[in-house]
Structure 1
Amino acid sequence: MNDTAAPAQPNPGHGHSHGHSASTAALAIGAVGVVFGDIGTSPLYAFRETFASHHGAPGIAPDAAHIHGVLSLVFWSMMMVVTVKYVLTITRADNRGEGGSLALLALIRRASDSAGWTAPLVLLGVFATALFYGDSMITPAISVLSATEGLQYIVPGFDPWIVPTAIAILVCLFALQSRGTERVGKLFGPIMLTYFAMLATLGVMHLTANPAIILETINPVNALNFFITDGYTAFIALGSVVLAVTGAEALYADMGHFGRKPIGLSWLTFVFPALMLNYMGQGALVLSQTSPEATAALIKDPFFLMIPDVVRVPVIILALLATIIASQAVISGAFSLTQQAIQLGFIPRMNIEHTSATAAGQIYIPAINWALMVMVILLVLFFQSSSNLAAAYGIAVTGAMFIDTLLLAAVLTALWRWPWWKALPLVLVFLIVDIAYFGANLVKVPSGGWVPLAIGFVIFTLLTTWARGRKLMRERMSESALPLEIFAKSAKNSAVRVPGTAIFMASTTAGVPSALLHNIKHNKVLHERVIILTIDITDEPYVDPTTRCEMVDLGDGFYRAVLHYGFMEETDVPQGLKTMERCGGAFDMMQTSFFLSRQTLLPSQKPAMPLWREKIFAWLLRNSSSAMDFFKLPTNRVVELGSQVEI
């Protein structure tokens, strides 16, 4: 969901934000720089953490049988989760080119809105969104912290400075977000290409001494023997093995920027081989030792210890740059997801700044940026090391992957109309894998896994409270709304008509907006041209510009108009009005006034929500960005009129 590669103009026919005008090879290279940052930094800590002791279970002995078993688990995890589930299956379920939980949710909701199972799926999709925010806090913390820990191999005695240095890097990273990622984004591709080439080279250097490890890795019997001989310890190890596939969901979320084929091409031909070569190289390095003491020392940090002294400094700096890029991808992904959630009605309006004049998808949301920065710094201060953070990492990712599988089941049966005998085996295989990983990560809850779950539940509560309160508020307002046709006939002779155009923003396409009622009540005037304008956010990422405007002439200078936008588009009302000349002629912004309603909530005798949720909704409503800023209305042409609503 990263916006660094978003293009100037989306393709309205297909909804691909990249437009896919570049060659497949060029897009594949771009995908390496943006999509694979998270999964690409996993070798820094995933293999190491699998052998460490966790949650009361003893550490795994770094002998040949266990190293072959772990490497086989890593390989087949990448094959099943990343390659088969995401690259070959889920990426085919696109919402006009866009991917990610919310895009998929919008697709399902549009196709089967009346089905009884839609509501639970919506809640699951919202919870997956909430979990993503937890992941977007932990990823920068663990990635930057793990790379910063590598500096101790360059500067002796650097240990006390690891946490302060990581925090300084993270503060700089978040402070630079407002400048946009366009310039930095151009460096992402070359840096990450070099980084993955470095991973592969380091792996090959150590594999030459033990090439047989390749066959042992791809042999699934080694993974099965690991479970047979170690049982519960092997199950606990799954919670660390899954660290090797964190970031797999980014393949789907970023699909709109690059397309399914370029992402699949870059994964299968470059990223996957580079990652596996490095993991196998780490295993070969550990197996090359003859003394137990040397083996025990290497298994504590095999990635950094596999780097030759002559290139240690540039390789560690390159790894640090890669973790910063991985963090950037998640942060800008959080911006993109927030924009979608705002448009789909799950998050209050926020101030969204566009950081590029040419790339529509490059946005910056100050509230999200600074909230993420505070949470990331708190996580670094609380956990102190990447090993401790690994205990919290994974549960949010595996939870989101599990939900993606459930959403995929709905796609297979409801959208693609697969027969159950065809869909069930595939879904069952994915569910077994997801449940195994999620179950192994649940063991992490007491030692840090509770953090992303707590963050997820808090955000889930906020999202559902806003959506519920917004729905109730619209219902209450529509209950007392006067039909516009009746109002137009009664008002034409009861108020003085003045020159100009008045646009009254309305949340629904039924009834008279309260701002219009208050205006005629207090000012006793009507403009020559009165337009009731509703902004409709569709369940598609983009709307064909030729169908953006919808208008009904009610006579006597009254019009009801609707502007349609996709959930990935910017709601620029003045720009949209340029397509609406049928509403009595072109719009002159200097002769047009915009009237907005600002609602104040009142306690109800029979509240439709618990009191604590009402208070949360009222707080969210008070702190939401003004409609004037969100709809890009000219500041000197806006009048706000207040109204009171009970929910």
Structure 2
Amino acid sequence: MSSLVSTESAPAMNAARKVSTGLVVAAVGVVLGDIGTSPLYAFKEIFIGGYGVTVSPDSIRGVLSLLLWSMIWVVSVKYVMLVTRADNQGEGGVLSLMALARRYVKPGTRRRGLLVTLGLLGAALLYGDSMITPAVSVLSSIEGLELAYPHLDDKVVPISVVIILGLFTLQRFGTERIGKLFGPVMLLWFLTLGVLGLINILKAPAVLEAVNPWWALTFFHHNPGVGITVFSAVTLVLTGAEALYADLGHFGRPAIIRAWTWVAMPALILNYFGQGALLTINGDALRNPFFLMAPDWLLLPLVILASMATVIASQAVITAAFSLTQQAVRLGYLPRLRIRHTSNHAMSQIYMPAVNWTVMVGVLLLITLFQSSARLAAAYGVAVTGTMVITSCLMVLIVLKHWRWPIWCGLPLVLAFLVVDVALFYANLTKFFHGGAVPVVIAIVVFITMDTWRRGRMRLERAQQDGEPSMDELIHALKQHPPARIKGCAIYLCGRFNGTPSALRQNLEFNKVLHEQVLLLTVITDEVPHVPADRRCEARYLGSGVSRLVLHFGFMECTDVPLALKECHSCVAGIDPDKASWFVGREVPLCQNGILHWQQWLFQLMFRNARSPARAFNLPSGRVVEIGGQVML
């Protein structure tokens, strides 16, 4: 028996190992792009960012020790070892974490409302990150041209703008083809980081003393005027940590852990220590220590490679913005938007035109306003650290309720993470009037948009329920006064699984006719990424030829309703979605007292421009009838 098991399990183990190797390379290319480009600007920002840190051997060792142990604690311990374990059926990200935590809080309570607020705020901050990352990354890479070609000083911004325009224009073609190049390019990038760092460390090996955490503790003693504000620059080393969790569903936890442990972390540590070694030897290299680590003949190729790496890093956060928006739409926090799938194999590869052009405009404005990566670095930290704080807050429920850790073990650990996160967030708030307000403003705008849509939809649903007859009353009326019946099947979309479609009521009231087969269809997005096939549909016969059907989708799935109906043979036997008549209610909200005037205007604007259910659910063209009505909120 044991020989049979070992014979069958060996190929499976080898296949898993082969898959893991490929996933590690892919994770290096997509997940680690953001944090992998931090050496371009993070280390020098500590010395030139106005914190009062002087360039001396002791200060350099203290900074390196602070960067090293911040990276170990926040990225390796918190995210890689703990947070990535909090998957929602394999998916990660702040909205997935919120959906997972909500299971342990009763609906309608203040705690549940607080969880929703935290989740929406975390998502809003990530939108700010998706605009700042491409701007600061591309600017920092192109600034390397100034060293080789000083006369191109005034061309940095125009070149960066051209690269950004090209990057966002290519989004509509998808990342399936160019994504295959991401892994090898980023592997070369991390190899270059490590080699350049190692060469410079060998010139001044004394910087390796910074591995001792005592140097991080004595750094503040040697720099008494620095205080906690230096953490705002340390944050730049940690940018991209959320991507390790947000892209969990694309690559899986083992691949991400190996990509970070084997490739990214060693290369980053070597490079930061190499920059420190260079400054120990030559303090004038502070103007751009990353590029000055390389010999003159390698400068131009390094600028080209850095530009490619920053484009890849930008691609990662742009893709994350698409994925985040899709989750928000599915969970009911944003109106329906056009979503185009760019791959026949990977459902996660999507393109959203509205999000793409909005983020592009934001990136171009940031590049034009700030002009340099040093100025823009001040705006970087608030979005990142704010999301870190929210993640730690949500992890309290996950650790204590979902994993059922003892409170004496789980709570102190999460609180330790939270203390560091709050310190980083507070340090970045000190730069609020020096660029830090940018991500806050972006987050506020996004949060207000999502919260207004959520509240408006709740009011709209409550208004529709007022005076709405129950389905039992309608079935009884059909039996007492049967209307004229015509051949065929009519499918009515119903927003609530126990409600009566307004289109059905109005069709009976005005046309006095009903199809022989009537199907009341409700589409529900569950708070899980994917719904198994055996739980896709629920069907119940109500009487008088009327049946109710509920289709369940995950918030990461494509809501192709006709395709789902064709797969649900047991629930809808004899019904052809391509030949049925589809009836969709189209409400027109009329606002009154109860919502602020600007929220009325904003909700109505979003409602008018929301994608129609016919397109969002991929209903067959030419067979959809929309019946409208006014609803007073």
- Whose helix fraction is larger, Structure 1's or Structure 2's? 2
**Are 1:614 and 2:608 an aligned pair?**
no
Distance 1:232 1:107 in 2: 43
SS for the counterpart of 2:205 is: coil
Please tell me whether the aligned partners of residues 405 and 430 of structure 1 are also in contact (alpha carbons under 8 angstroms). Answer: yes
Q: 1:229 aligns with which of 222, 241, 244?
A: 222
Q: Does 1:602 align with 2:590?
A: yes
Question: Corresponding residue for 1:28?
Answer: 24
Q: State which of 127, 133, 142 in structure 1 corresponds to 2:136.
A: 142
Which residue matches 1:642?
Answer: 628
SS in 2 for 1:172: helix
CA distance in 2 between counterparts of 1:118 and 1:228 reads 44
Cα offset, 1:423, TM superposition: 1.9
Structure 2 residue matching 1:117: 3-state secondary structure: helix
Residue aligned with 1:587, SS: coil
**Aligned counterpart, 2:292:** 305
Contact 1:51 1:237 in 2 (8 A): no
Among 490, 497, 508, which residue is 1:502 paired with?
Answer: 490
Cα 1:20–1:636, aligned 2, differ >3 Å: closer, same or farther?
Answer: farther
SS of the aligned residue for 1:107 comes to: helix
Structure 2 residue aligned with 1:151: 145
Q: Which residue of 2 aligns with 1:7?
A: none
Task: State whether structure 2 residue 461 is matched by structure 1 residue 463.
Answer: no
2:363 partner amino acid: V
Distance 1:260 1:582, change over 3 A: closer
Which string of whole-angstrom CA distances, capped at 9 and with x for unpartnered residues, describes residues 226-250 of structure 1?
A: 1123234142221111101100010
Asked whether 1:529 is paired with 2:517, we answer: yes
Q: Is the 8 A contact 1:141 1:379 kept in 2?
A: yes
The residue aligned with 1:190 is: 184
Q: Identity percentage over the alignment?
A: 48
Whether the 8 Å CA contact 1:20–1:258 is kept in 2: the answer is no
Distance in 1 between residues matched to 2:124 and 2:581, nearest whole Å: 38
The answer to whether the 8 Å contact 1:151/1:316 transfers is yes
Note closer, same or farther for the CA distance 1:53–1:107 as it changes in structure 2 (3 Å cut).
closer
1 CA distance for matches of 2:399 and 2:111?
14
Residues 72-124 of structure 1, C-alpha deviations (whole Å, 9 max, x = no match): 11100100000000000111111111111000111111233346522212211
Matched, 1:429 2:423: no
CA distance, structure 1, for counterparts of residue 471 and residue 572 of structure 2: 18
Q: CA deviation at 1:527?
A: 0.8
In structure 2, the residue matched to 1:166 is: 160
Which residue of structure 2 lines up, in the alignment, with residue 39 of structure 1? Answer: 35
RMSD: 1.5
Please state how far the C-alpha of 1:583 moved relative to its aligned partner.
4.9
Aligned to 1:349: 336
Distance in structure 2 (CA, Å) of the matches to 1:411 and 1:280: 36
* TM score, norm. by length of structure 2: 0.95
| Separation (CA, whole Å) in 2 of partners of 1:591 and 1:320 | 53
Between stretches 424-433 and 85-94, larger displacement belongs to 424-433
Q: Please tell me the residue identity of whatever aligns with 1:79.
A: I
Deviation at 1:421, TM superposition (A): 1.5
Task: Please state whether the residue corresponding to 1:183 is helix, strand or coil.
Answer: coil
State whether residues 343 and 349 of structure 2, in contact with CA within 8 Å, keep that contact through their aligned partners in structure 1: yes
CA distance in 2, matches of 1:324, 1:538: 35
Does structure 1 residue 248 correspond to structure 2 residue 241? yes
Query: What is the correspondence of 1:278-427 to structure 2 with a 5 Å cutoff?
Result: 278-289=271-282, 295=283, 297-427=284-414
1:485 deviates by 2.5
Matching of residue 105 in structure 1 with residue 92 in structure 2: no
Q: Which amino acid aligns with 1:495?
A: P
- State the SS of the aligned residue for 1:622: helix
Closer/same/farther in 2, CA of residues 75 and 523 from structure 1, 3 Å limit: same
Change (3 A) 1:547 1:613: same
Letter in 2 for 1:228: H
Check the 8 A contact 2:566/2:576 in 1, yes or no: no
* 1:150 to partner: Cα distance: 1.1
Q: Which residue number corresponds to residue 49 of structure 1?
A: 45
The alpha-carbon distance between structure 1 residues 210 and 348, as it changes in their structure 2 partners (threshold 3 A), is same
After TM superposition, give the deviation of residue 220 of structure 1 in Å.
1.0
CA shift digits 1:558-617 (9 cap, x unpaired): 00100000010000000011133445633324421111111111133xx33222212211
Identify the match of residue 567 of structure 1 among 555, 559, 562. Answer: 555
SS at 1:595 equivalent: strand
Match of 2:67 among 74, 81, 88: 74
CA 1:134 to 1:242, structure 2 compared with 1: closer, same or farther past 3 Å? Answer: same
Change (3 A) 1:318 1:508: same
Distance 2:612 2:514 in 1: 24
For 2:40, the aligned partner's letter is L
Please give the alpha-carbon distance, in whole angstroms, between the structure 2 residues aligned to 1:580 and 1:411. Answer: 34
State the AA in 1 paired with 2:251: F
Deviation at 1:284, TM superposition (A): 0.3
What corresponds to 1:15 in structure 2? none
- Return the offset for 1:212: 2.8
User: What residue number does 2:89 align with?
Assistant: 96
SS of 1:176's equivalent?
Answer: helix
Which of 497, 509, 517 is matched with 2:505 structurally? 517
d(CA) in 1 for partners of 2:521, 2:542:
13
CA distances 1:386-437 after superposition (whole Å, capped 9, x unpaired) = 0110011111000000110001111112222223211222122111211111
Q: Secondary structure at the match of 2:304?
A: helix
My pick for the range that moved more, 558-567 or 306-315, is: 306-315
Report the TM-score, using the length of structure 1 for normalisation: 0.93
In structure 2, relative to structure 1, the CA distance for the partners of 1:93 and 1:590 (3 Å cut) is: closer
Match of 1:550 in 2: 538
Match of 1:63 in 2: 56
How far did residue 25 of structure 1 move? 2.2
Offset at residue 163 of structure 1 (A) = 0.4
Give the aligned residue type for 1:270.
Answer: V
Q: Which moved more, 1:122-131 or 1:205-214?
A: 205-214
Quote how far apart the aligned CAs of 1:20 are.
Answer: 7.6
User: Structure 1's 232 and 417: CA in aligned 2 closer, same or farther, altered over 3 A?
Assistant: farther
Identify if the C-alpha distance between structure 1 residues 389 and 584 changes in structure 2 by more than 3 Å, giving closer, same or farther: closer
Q: Is the 8 A contact 2:129 2:439 kept in 1?
A: yes
CA contact (8 A) 1:112 1:414 kept: no
Q: 1:542 to 1:584 in 2, by over 3 A?
A: closer
What residue is the counterpart of 2:11 in the other structure? Answer: none
Superposed CA deviations along residues 111-146 of structure 1, whole A, max 9, x for unmatched, are 333465222122111100000000100000000111
Q: Secondary structure at the match of 1:502?
A: strand
Query: 1:284 is aligned with what amino acid?
Result: A
- Structure 2 regions of 5+ residues with no counterpart? 1-14
For residue 157 of structure 1, report the CA deviation from its aligned partner: 0.5
Q: CA deviation at 1:22?
A: 5.5
- Conserved? CA contact 1:43–1:303, under 8 Å: yes
Is 2:565–2:572's contact at 8 Å kept on the other side of the alignment?
no
**Distance in 2 between residues matched to 1:328 and 1:517, nearest whole Å:** 48
